[in-house]
Amino acid sequence: MHSKKTVLAAALAAVAALTLSACGSGGDPADDSVAEVSSGTESKPATVLDQPFTKPDLVLTDTHGKKYDLREQTKGKPTLIYFGYTNCPDVCPLTMSNIAVAKRALPKADQDKLQVVFVTTDPERDTPASLGSWLKAQDPDFTGLTGDFPTIQAGARQIGIGIDPPKKEKDGTVVSMHGAQVIAFSPKTDKGYVLYSEDTTAEDYTEDLPELVKGETP
C-alpha cells in the first residue's frame, strides 16, 4: 500500500500551485527538455484531502468541437482531472498511459462509469482535432478539453493547480509550466478528495481505481 497523508486543502493548494513541471517541445524531438518538478517536499503517490476541492466551474470545447460543461457532464460520476498538453515529451503521456492501463483492469461496468478528463494547458496548439487524435491513442473514451488560456488557467486555480502560458525559447523550444497532479472527484459528492502526484504509477492507480469508482477513500 502506498503512503498517504491527510492535509488541509488550503495548504495543499499552495503546494500544488508551486509544483510545476517544465515540459519543453520544439521542432526537433531530440532537443526536448526533460520535465522537472520544482518542489522542496518529498512527493507522495496520493494525498487524501481533509477539505476536498469543489469541481472547477469550466465550460470548454471537447474534441468534437462541442461545448462541454465540466460540472454538468461529470455530475455524479467518478472523475479524474488532469491539466497538461499533447506536446509534452514525458510527464503528460506517461500519466495518461498509467491511468489507461489501470482503467483497463477495471470491470467493464466500472470502466464505463469512470470519467478521465484531460484539459490542455497549450490551447493554441492543442486544437480539438489534434487533442482528440492524441487522446485516442491513450484511450478513445478519455475526454479532451480546450478553449482560451485564461479560462483554463482560472479553472486550474480553483483546484490548486498552477499553470503558466507556454513560452517559446530563443532556440524554438516551447516550454509549458503546469502542475502535474491528477485529482479524483467522488461520484457521491462531486468533490475532489484525492490528489495524485506525477510519481504515481500504473500499479498505484490500479490499486485505487476500484475504490475511487465507488466514491470510497483508497
Per-residue pLDDT of the chain (218 residues), as tens digits, is 444 444 444 444 444 444 555 454 433 333 332 223 333 344 557 899 999 999 999 999 999 999 999 999 999 999 999 999 998 888 999 999 999 999 999 999 999 999 999 999 999 999 999 999 999 999 999 999 999 999 999 999 999 999 998 888 788 777 777 889 999 999 999 999 999 999 999 999 999 999 999 999 99
- Spatial separation of the C-alpha atoms in residues 58 and 65, rounded to whole Å: 15
Taking alpha carbons only, the member of 174, 187, 148, 143 closest to residue 52 is 187
Specify the pLDDT at position 23. 58
In sequence order, what are the beta bridge partners of 80? 116, 184
Specify the pLDDT at position 39. 34
C-alpha distance across the termini of the chain, in Å? 10
Opening angle at CA 15, ends 10 and 16, nearest 5: 95
Contact (Cβ atoms closer than 8 angstroms) between residue 55 and residue 12: no
